[in-house]
Amino acid sequence: MSDLLNDITYLLTDALELGLIWSLLALGIFVSFKVLDYADMTCESSFALGGATCATMIINGFDPFVALICGSLASFLAGIITGLLHVKLKIPALLSGIITMIGLYSINLRVMMNKANLSLINQDTIFSLINLNLSIPQYGRIIISLIIVLVIFFVMYYFFGTEIGMSLRATGMNMNMAKASGINTSVMIVLGLGISNGLIGLGGGLLTQSQGFADINMGKGVIIIGLAAIIVGEVIFGKRSFKNRLISTILGTFLYYILLGIAMRLGLDPNDLKLLSAILIIIILASPLLKKQLLSNKNRGAQHA
């Protein structure tokens, strides 16, 4: 019984720590995919850019908080580039993100001093600087991550209630109507993609400081994680209001990592986690159609009876 309790405690604390960090990525993807209705692939490299910038600055003696902010700003600029490719050069949305993503791979290597991996061993991070004197260090990392996520949540909730934030949301809902209302949709798209990737880069920097290293491939497949978290959150917690959608995204990330943790406990090969995530998204997205077909078959059977 005690072993089972320990396993559940470990599963929940691990999922909470990872869920909080990765929820920043999910919130960034939420801005581009849900608010702007823009399929942005930049996240695959902007996540790594945030981590790479953060790690390089810490190694070169910068304050971990400054490094975290600069990593987010670097990814913000990456999103701006994607937006400009789309609105100024008229490159399709999906392709503009892919172009930036490919180009950022080489930039990330340059940022990491031509190394594929940077270790932060014996380097200060925000988790080591803020000593909460807890018996279990993981709890300290959870509290610090929770504070950062809460700050981002309240800032996002306030910002998207302002005139600029409402204009961003209007651009994603109906671009033609937004233009007719006098909104500069091109500026909104560029700004929205910058905010989206800035949040994603913040998540990359926080993950780098939490795990103690940055890797050139740390952004591969992150779009699957973000979308899975958003979809799981919306299905379980709903999307009645904008605030509810933000909360659902954060809680969805936590639930996503609980599901992954359960799968790992059941003996799933870690190499299959991305496949599991893809299957999970397919099942959730297909569930309305499956329900409709089941209801149709049930009604057809009742009519024949």
Give the per-residue pLDDT at 3: 61
Q: Residue 214's closest CA among 22, 55, 44, 40? A: 55
Give the per-residue pLDDT at 277: 77
CA dist 205 and 28 (Å) reads 14
Rounded to two decimals, the pTM is 0.92
Please give the angle made by the CA atoms of 222, 197 and 217, to the nearest 5 degrees. 40
Q: Are 82 and 40 in contact (CB under 8 A)?
A: yes
Give the per-residue pLDDT at 43: 94
Work out the mean pLDDT of the chain and round it to a whole number: 89
Tokens of 240: 């009645």
Q: What is the dihedral of CA 105, 216, 274, 97, to 10 degrees?
A: -20
Give the per-residue pLDDT at 295: 76
Give the per-residue pLDDT at 302: 65
CB atoms within 10 A of CB 278: 14
CA dist 182 and 185 (Å) reads 9
Q: Which residue carries 């992954």 as its tokens?
A: 260
Give pLDDT tens digits along the chain (305 positions): 566 667 777 788 888 889 999 999 999 999 999 999 999 999 999 999 999 999 999 999 999 999 999 999 999 999 999 999 999 999 999 999 999 999 999 999 999 999 999 999 989 899 888 776 666 677 888 899 999 999 999 999 999 999 999 999 999 999 999 999 999 999 999 999 999 999 999 999 999 999 999 999 999 889 988 988 998 888 888 778 899 999 999 999 998 888 888 887 777 777 777 787 778 778 777 777 777 787 777 777 666 65
Give the per-residue pLDDT at 70: 97
Give the per-residue pLDDT at 4: 60
Give the per-residue pLDDT at 12: 83
CA dist 186 and 250 (Å) reads 29
pLDDT tens digits, 142-162 = 899 999 999 999 999 999 999
Domains and CATH numbers, the chain: 11-271 (1.10.3470)
CA dist 137 and 15 (Å) reads 15
Give the per-residue pLDDT at 88: 96
- The distance from CA 154 to its chain's CA centroid, rounded to whole angstroms, is 17
Give the per-residue pLDDT at 135: 64
